[in-house]
Chains A and B, each alone.
Chain A
Amino acid sequence: MTTKHLLAAVDEDAAPLTHEQLRELYALMASVRHLDTAAVAWQRQGIIPGYAPQLGQEAAQVGSGYAVDRTMDFVFPTYREMGVARAMGVDMVGYMSTHKATWHGGMYNPLESRFAPIQAVVAGSVLHAVGWAHGQTLSGKPDGERGVAMTYFGDGASSQGDVHEAMNFAAVMKAPVVFFIQNNGWAISVPTERQVAGGSVAARAAGYGIPSLQVDGNDVVAVFEATRSAFAHCRAGHGPVVIEAMTYRRGPHSTADDPGRYRTLDEERLGAGEDPLERFRQRLLADGVADAAFFAEAQRRAEEEEEAIRSGIEALGPRPGAEMFSLVFQEPTPTLQSQATAWRKESEHV
């Protein structure tokens, strides 16, 4: 289902991406690809206990994250949005610390980065985006200064009741929310056709009167343009938009997963389609936007960056145990304080 015309009206003047921006998108995708592949290797090497790869989702993540205006918008991720985080300039050591098991939500500052804490409950933050977006409506900020919330979730998460509640709330309140579904074909072992009734997640939007788009999630420019239109639609006060980016999770669900139990390598090759990174490289070459030297340089920088992030997380060390107690409340309870004191006495021997 494509209702693109509904959004086009507010996005007529959007300029095409400049060559500079196209190269930047490629460089972001290259560094996301390299960091993602490296993180899986780190897990095998015992540097981190686990990771949720996003191999094959670089275009969907970078293209959408690139459309966010970090001076006013806010993003609500799940556990697989490393590429969005990177495109938004989130501190990647802070981001990876969640996979290092240093701190559940990550160690970056969500307020400064405009990227909410990493979230393990699927669909957990979809409603938060609606609340945050309604806050923009209530804020009294002038037109053009109100932010848009973008919430990420998967085809599996779309089965959660909270997604229904969120779409209904957002439509009733005309909240400026972009529901960004990465349909990567699978929710762990269950394929989309066993997960989503009604043909697609985007199709559901019609039931709420929300305009929706299905976009080729392996085409970074298409994803960027769809997201930019959706943001313009929301910013102009027209309410929420649903974007379903059709992509494919090429590797395992997580480093603990064994996809061989639910799909064959042949099926994987067939389902995955074109590699979004390679496809974009060919396009930039064909259009004369970038040359071999540029790609080599992008790769070199990606490797340099990955090394810095790896040494950053290796140097992280465990958090002081006292934080376990001190970060529960803004105003700790006496019971918690005495538990902290007892813990200190019994474990730190001070």
Chain B
Amino acid sequence: MSETITEAPGTATDTAAPVLQMSMQQALNRALDEILADDPKTVIFGEDCGRLGGVFRITDGLQAKHGEERVFDTPLAESGILGMSVGLAMAGFHPIPEVQFDGFAYPAINQIICQIARMNYRSRGTLPMPITLRVPSFGGIRAPEHHGESLEALFAHVPGLKVVSPSNPHDAYHLLKYAATRPDPVIFMEPKSRYWQKGPVDVTSATPGTEASDGGSPTGARVVREGRHLTLVAWGAMVARCLQVAELAAEDGIDVEVLDLRWLKPIDAEALATSVGKTRRAVVVHEAPLTSGLGAEVAQLITQRCFDTLKAPVERVTGFDVPYPSGDLEDEYIPNIDRILFGIQRVLEYRRG
């Protein structure tokens, strides 16, 4: 399936602002460069992120520019990388560690859950953990096993962690800059299948959340397409796919609203209520397996706030409860256009009793 980028209305049209065309990789790289320049306490480290610039080149050139003390390679050990982040944070640094691929966060789960997520609490607020863990996330690049996992529900379930996932270069730039200046640990899930897609980036907005379409909150969701008949809720790479679906549905006279959740913890429940309160139908789309996924959380938040006005139960279109399959089966696993359209059909055709 070909990927065409459909951008949010409003992001590319403001001619007064310096809007640059760049890929998400470039946007993230620029954000990290500026974070390093703005905050001398920031340190970036992980496997191959120094001289090589990361296997996805997100840290490209940063070591040459900011020095080997600020951007460095570690031995190949994820628990080591995350455990070291805790000590650096305790010493007053702002670590931005990288786990090379999502599946390699598993060896570090003990440090993430038992240490990073709890140290502020354990120390009664005296040892904050201003750590932004960058995780190239989700599938869609036909990678080997463990190179395409969707860990958002796991992370979001852990008290003490915040989770965010951008869907386009503009948000990637601003959300990373915002996350990296927060005093709490943020898991920053980068949709790796979107790294090379270009889009407009307005580098002058102060923070994400200053535009009308995203409710004015830096942890807010964003309406990326307005519509009347139903809301598609998505994040990461699924946002672009939902926008494609919305275009196709429009040909049949179905007017789809697309809500990019962006923050997976905290979830912007108000934005869900506003959008679904208007459209009265919702489908949640995510790559992660169905059972106990974040779609269930989103559906509950919608049900609680919009029960009286809902015209159909909230539907989910997701990956399956199977280990992430290899490349040849990836297109079967990740929600595709047809499956999302079927989901839309289910909520539109729902009849009570």
Contacts and interface: CB of A to CB of B under 8 A. Distances in A.
Interface of A: 74, 76, 103-105, 107, 109-111, 116-117, 121, 124-139, 149, 161-162, 165-166, 168-169, 172, 323, 327-331, 333-336
Given A117-B123, A117-B127, A334-B266, A328 B160 contact: yes
A16 to B, nearest CB: 33
Contact of A107 (B124, B184, B219): B124
Given A138-B69, A168-B80, A330-B183, A117 B120 contact: no
A124 B114 contact: yes
B43 interface: yes
Contacts of B266: 333-336
8 contacts: A127-B82, A131-B85, A136-B91, A162-B83, A169-B77, A327-B124, A328-B160, A330-B120
A300 B327 CA distance: 74
A74 B92 CA distance: 13
B269 to A, nearest CB: 7
Nearest 10 pairs between A and B by C-beta? A131-B87, A127-B83, A135-B91, A105-B122, A132-B87, A131-B84, A165-B80, A333-B266, A330-B183, A128-B87
B348 interface: no
Nearest to A133: B87
Nearest to B91: A135
Contacts of A165: 75, 77, 79-80, 83
Given A121-B115, A138-B93, A330 B88 contact: no
Given A121-B110, A327-B121, A331-B184, A130 B83 contact: yes
B182 interface: yes
A124 B126 contact: no
Given A111-B127, A330-B128, 19 more contacts: A74-B91, A110-B123, A121-B115, A130-B83, A131-B87, A131-B88, A132-B87, A134-B87, A138-B70, A138-B93, A139-B91, A162-B79, A165-B77, A165-B80, A169-B74, A323-B124, A327-B120, A327-B124, A330-B125
Nearest to B297: A335
Nearest to B43: A138
Nearest to A121: B114
A130 B84 contact: yes
Nearest to A324: B121
Most A CB contacts (10 A, CB to CB) among B74, B87, B128 go to B87
Interface in B91-132: 91-93, 95, 110-111, 114-115, 119-128
Interface residues of B, number: 46
A306 B343 CA distance: 67
A135 B123 CA distance: 19
Contacts of A329: 120, 160, 162, 184
Given A127-B87, A135-B91, A328 B120 contact: yes
A135 B87 contact: yes
A104 B111 CA distance: 17
B90 interface: yes
Nearest to B70: A138
A116 B95 CA distance: 19
B259 interface: no
A349 to B, nearest CB: 24
A321 to B, nearest CB: 14
B127 A166 contact: no
A296 to B, nearest CB: 39
B159 interface: yes
A116 B90 contact: yes
A139 B119 CA distance: 22
A149 B95 CA distance: 18
Most B CB contacts (10 A, CB to CB) among A105, A107, A165 go to A165
Contacts of B110: 121, 124, 162
B183 A331 contact: yes
A169 B127 CA distance: 23
